[in-house]
Amino acid sequence: MNQKYTHKRQPFTVPDGYFQQLPNNILQQINEIPPSQSSKSLFIIAKKQLALAAAFISFVFISYGVFHFIYNSVKPKQNITQQTFDDIVLANVDESDIVYLLTTDIKPEEIKPETLENILLDETLNDDIIYNDNLNQ
């Protein structure tokens, strides 16, 4: 026979003995689980702080991106003119030329611009790069 709930307008019933057995059924399941201390993950503890940190990092990245976008779109050629002589040479000169220059007996003060030009003006180096405005700075 089913147990009827006592509320005057409740049409729902439960199986016999359901409420007598339920506490023990639940206790069987939770017996192996310690109360919350162990279930408190770092995420739960520091959720607010992590959210703030994530928001701050996102803000920094977005600001950086926006700054670079605006900077590059306003002054597209400025980055090129800031390139140093070293950058251009290292990117275009063959390593063997540099080794030759460093190991040769010629002292640095004795190297004339034309000599240096002859050494570097190998197949690998483009004339345009040598004679562009950057080298005049």
Partner 1 sequence: MKKHKSDEELLEQIISNNSPHEAFKELIEKYQQPLYFHIRKILLDHDDTDDALQNTFIKAWQAIYDFKHQSKIYTWLYRIATNEALSILKKRNRFSFFSKDSQAEEWIARLESDPYFDGNEADLKLQKAILLLPEKQRIVFNMRYFDEMPYETISEILDTSVGALKASYHHAVKKIENFLQQPLNLDKIT
| Bridge partner list, 34 | none
Q: Does 21 bind partner 1 (CB under 8 A)?
A: no
Contacts 24+ apart (CB under 8 A), 101-105: none
What sign results for the dihedral spanned by CA atoms 31, 35, 40, 44?
positive
Choose one: 37-45, 48-56, 65-73, 117-125; the region binding partner 1 (CB under 8 A): 37-45
Instruction: Note whether 13 binds partner 1 by CB under 8 A.
Output: yes
- 1 interacts with partner 1 by CB under 8 A: no
Q: Return d(Cα 89, Cα 125) in angstroms, integer.
A: 8
Neighbours of 40 (CB within 10 A): 9
Only segment of 18-26, 69-77, 83-91, 119-127 that touches partner 1 (CB under 8 A): 18-26
Chain positions 62 to 121 lying near partner 1, rule: CB under 8 A, are none
SS3 assignment, position 28? helix
Cβ 80 vs Cβ 134: under 8 Å: yes
Rule CB under 8 A: is residue 46 a binding residue for partner 1? no
Q: Tell me which of 17, 33, 74, 136 binds partner 1, using CB under 8 A.
A: 33
At residue 4, the 3 state secondary structure works out as strand
Least distance to partner 1 from the beta carbon of 53, Å? Answer: 22
For partner 1, the binding residues (CB under 8 A) are 2, 4-5, 7, 9-15, 18-19, 22-27, 29-31, 33, 35-37, 39-40, 44
